Amino acid sequence: MSSLLVVRATDDAGQLAPSADALVTIPGGSIADWQAAALFMTHRRDVDGETPLLALVDSSLDNDALDERLEILIPARPDGIVLSGVADGTELQRLDVALAVAEAMAGREPGETPLIAMIGDNASGLLSFASFAGRTPRLRAVGRAATALAAELQVPGSPDQQGDESAPVALSRGLTLLGAAKARVAALDWLDPSLAGEDLERACAAARRDGFTALITETSDHLPAIAAAYG
C-alpha cells in the first residue's frame, strides 16, 4: 500500500474509481456526519470489496463524543482509524480502550481495528515522538502532515523556489521517521494538496527516499505521481 486517498462521506461511493490503494473518509462534526460516513463505507463495500476503507478521527474529541461516534462507525467495519493531532502516547491508549468497547458492542473481535497515528501534524506529537512505542498493538504507522504543522506554527508549509523547507517543517520529517522506527511501525506522509508538476514529483521521490512507505493525498490528481515514485 503506497497511496491513501482522502474522500468525503458525502462523495458518491459508487462513482469513486479504485485508483488508490486505500480510501480515508473524513466525517464532519455532527452525529449525522458520522452516520453518513458509516453509510458511505457500507455502500462502498457493495461496489468495491477490495479497497481498504479507513476513517479519520480527531484526537481532540472528548471521551463521551469519541465513544458516541465510534459506536456509529465501528459496526460499518472500518479497516482502520487515522487519528489526527496525536500529542503523546496516552492518546493512543485512550483510543485503544474506546475502540475495544465499540468493537465489543458491535460484535467484533477486540483489537481488530488497526490504527495510524498522525504525530507529525502538531508540535507536541513530534516532541513526544518516543512516547508512542508500546502503547497499543493496534498501531501500524505514524504520519506527518506538513501543511497542518505549518499552519499551527504559522510558517510556510511548502518548499520555496530553491526546494528548501522551513526549519520546523524539515525537522518534522526526521522526527516522524524516528518515531516510526522507535515504535517499529511504518511512516506515512500527507501531501500538500497544492503540489503539482515537478514539485509533486520531487515531493513523492523525497518521501520514498527518506523512508515514508505510503503517501496520503486529498486529490486524485496526485495518484499517478505517487504510483510513479513507488512503482
Residues 136-146: pLDDT tens digits?
A: 999 999 999 99
Residues 152-182: pLDDT tens digits?
A: 998 876 654 445 678 889 999 999 999 999 9
The three cell numbers of residue 222 are 496526485
CB atoms closer than 10 angstroms to residue 107: 8
Residues 29-79: pLDDT tens digits?
A: 899 999 999 999 999 888 888 999 999 999 999 999 999 999 999 999 999
pLDDT of 123 reads: 96
State whether residue 59 is helix, strand or coil.
coil
State the virtual CA torsion across 215, 84, 49, 99 in degrees, nearest 10: 140
Residue with cell 479519520: 56
User: Contacts for 151-155 with beta carbons within 8 Å, 24 or more apart?
Assistant: 152/121, 152/122, 152/123, 153/123
Q: What is the mean pLDDT of the chain?
A: 92
Mean pLDDT of 118-129: 96
The three cell numbers of residue 206 are 523525497
Residues 185-208: pLDDT tens digits?
A: 999 999 999 999 999 999 999 999
| Short-list 218, 189, 185, CA closest to 7 | 218
Instruction: Report the distance separating Cα 69 and Cα 78, nearest Å.
Output: 13
For residue 21, CA distances in Å to 3, 32, 41, 49, 59 come to 5, 27, 15, 12, 25
Is the Cβ–Cβ distance between 149 and 120 less than 8 Å?
Answer: yes
State the virtual CA torsion across 185, 136, 191, 128 in degrees, nearest 10: -90
